[in-house]
Amino acid sequence: MHIRQLVKNSYLLTVDLYTVYATKKPEVMKKYTFSLLLITGICFLIACKKEDTTSSERFNLLTAPLWTSDSLLANGEDASGPGELLEKFTGDAKFNEDGTGYFGQYTGNWTLTNNDEYITIASDSLTIPVTCYIEELTESDFKIVTSFPVQEEPLPVDIRITFKPK
């Protein structure tokens, strides 16, 4: 009987709390409804913000023409000949707007980084992605520089590649 009374008292306490909450509910709802609607509206506007689809000037300069290699230098010397380090980079390079492209004999992906100051080229044929500093990018010239580790060399090789529009 003592347990029944406790359960009964607990039930009454729950009912009493609900009654208090139910009687105060309209006041609480009026107080917070406007705030809740305002926050929901702000979240909706932020989530629906139109994406910036404009491309940077460098992106447009890079993707517009078909580029052809002009010079391929490793440590200041021509490395474009047969058997040389940059032989497979000779030829045309196309940087598509979707981030894909081909670079001489390589195909892969590219991205501009650090405020379009660097370009990273990745390909299954390259051991690691190559990140290059864009030394110059105009309508008539595209010059990139990087250092790249080579197994036969104790120090990374300084590479400079220049392209001209085709």
Question: Which pLDDT tens digit goes with each residue over 24-58?
Answer: 555 555 555 655 555 665 655 566 555 555 678 99
Q: Are 94 and 67 in contact (CB under 8 A)?
A: yes
DSSP state, residue 50:
P
- Say if CB 119 and CB 131 are below 8 A apart: yes
pLDDT in tens, 133-160: 999 999 999 999 999 888 877 888 899 9
Q: Which fold has domain 57-165?
A: Lipocalin (2.40.128)
Do residues 159 and 142 lie in contact, with contact meaning Cβ atoms separated by under 8 Å?
A: no
pLDDT tens string 64-97: 999 999 999 999 999 999 989 889 989 999 999 9
Strands (E), the chain: 67-74, 77-78, 92-95, 100-103, 106-113, 118-122, 130-137, 142-148, 157-165
pLDDT of residue 155: 86
pLDDT of residue 6: 47
In this structure, what token pair is assigned to residue 85?
Answer: 């380090």
Predicted local confidence at residue 77, as pLDDT? 93
Q: How many CA atoms lie within 13 A of 118 on its CB side?
A: 10
pLDDT at 104 over 80: yes
Confidence of residue 3 (pLDDT cuts 50, 70, 90): very low
- 34 sits in the region (left: phi over 0; alpha: psi -120 to 50; else beta) called alpha
* Residue boundaries of the structural domains of the chain: 1-49, 57-165
Closest CA to 112 of 124, 96, 123: 96
Q: What is the DSSP letter of 33?
A: H
Q: What is the pLDDT of residue 13?
A: 44
Q: Residues with Cβ < 8 Å from 55, sequence gap 6 or more?
A: 63, 97
Residue 101 pLDDT exceeds 80: yes
Residue 15 pLDDT class (50, 70, 90 cuts): very low
Q: What is the pLDDT of residue 156?
A: 87
Count CB atoms within 10 A of the CB of residue 137: 19
